[in-house]
Amino acid sequence: MRIRGDTQLTGLFGFPVEHTASPPMHNAGFEALGLPWIYLPLKVRPERLRDAVPGTVALGFRGFNVTIPHKQAVIEFLDDVSEAAALIGAVNTVQIDEDGACRGFNTDGRGFVRSLKTEAGFDPTGKVVFVMGAGGAGRAIATQLALEGAARVLIADVDAPRAEALQQSIAQNIATDRVEIVSCDDRAVADALARADAFVNATPLGMRDGDPTSVPTAHLRPQTLCADLIYRPPETPLLAQAKARGCRTLNGLGMLLFQGVEAFELWTGRDAPVDVMRRALHQAVYPTEAP
Active site amino acids: 71
146 residue type, one letter: A
Contact assessment for residue 12 and residue 22, using Cβ atoms and an 8 Å cutoff: yes
Contact assessment for residue 242 and residue 220, using Cβ atoms and an 8 Å cutoff: yes
Contact assessment for residue 53 and residue 77, using Cβ atoms and an 8 Å cutoff: yes
Residues 199 and 225: their CA atoms lie apart, in Å, by: 6
Report the 3 state secondary structure along 87-107. HHCCCCEEEECCCCCEEEECC
- 57: Cβ–Cβ under 8 A, 6 or more apart, which residues? 96, 100, 102
Nearest residue to 105 (alpha-carbon basis) of 127, 123, 124, 78: 78
Residues 53 and 44: their CA atoms lie apart, in Å, by: 10
